[in-house]
Amino acid sequence: MLGILSKTVKASPVHKPALGGLVSGAGRLVHIPAADLYSLYMFNSISGRLSEKRADMICIDTGGVEWEIAVPARSVDEFGALGEDARAFTWLHHYEDGMRLYGFPTEADRAVFKELMKVEGIGPKQALRILSGIKADALASALDGDDLAALQKIPGVGPKMAQKMMLALKGKLMSAEDVSAGASDRGGAWADVVRALVDMGYDRKAADKAVAAAAKDAAGKGTVKAGEGEREIFRQALLALSTGA
């Protein structure tokens, strides 16, 4: 079923490098997170009529193609009522015997899902189970507040996994407000640069602030050459973060 593409859904190939990070392509700097290496093709979202809802799955009919999408159990009702228009922000997982679509009601939820998969021992199914047990914003608050007890209340998360999550994700999860602010203030122009810095271990808020400052400074001085914007902003932001400027 997933091999048939509806006209309303676009897929683009992602060439898999050895490691996630910034790679050069088509004259610009492109960031491919390590978690995306599970997938050969990425769907940003699927929109259509909500045709079925189960405990941890929904189906969206795009007019001739019905997509079965695994979703966090606590998010099922956020997609609306049966028969109404719905949109799922998706992530496609290729594995040895097939593929599976995962979907989320917001881009922020999907971003957290992808960040969770960067933690050792967490794959797509476990990441979905975690988001079925706690809201993305609550997870970010628990991590930023060093609340191991809250993490251990999540089904499937024991003391060791809670520690791994804390070490890998504290200060790195993007909230719905962060996504909205990035879209409205910068149109997502430097989102790849921010993600690259976060992948290097920097705090997301600090990285976002450094990138915004670098972009503002470069725009004011006119120092960014055509086609080199992302590289220059990345260099300036990295310098600021590493020197504590």
Q: Give the Å distances, CA to CA, from 189 to 48, 93, 108, 150, 239.
A: 28, 26, 17, 35, 19
Q: Give the Å distances, CA to CA, from 77 to 18, 50, 105.
A: 38, 11, 9
Q: Domain 107-169: which CATH class?
A: mainly alpha
Question: Domain 12-104 falls in which CATH fold?
Answer: OB fold (Dihydrolipoamide Acetyltransferase, E2P) (2.40.50)
**Cα 161 from chain centroid?**
20
Q: Give me the residue spans of the domains in the chain.
A: 12-104, 107-169, 186-243
Q: What is the pLDDT of residues 198-226, one digit of tens each?
A: 778 787 778 888 888 888 887 766 655 54
The reported pLDDT for the residue numbered 96 is 84
The reported pLDDT for the residue numbered 232 is 84
Which is more confident, 178 or 17? Answer: 178
Q: Give me the mean pLDDT over the 90-104 stretch.
A: 91
Q: Classify strands 12-13 and 57-61 as parallel, antiparallel or unpaired.
A: unpaired
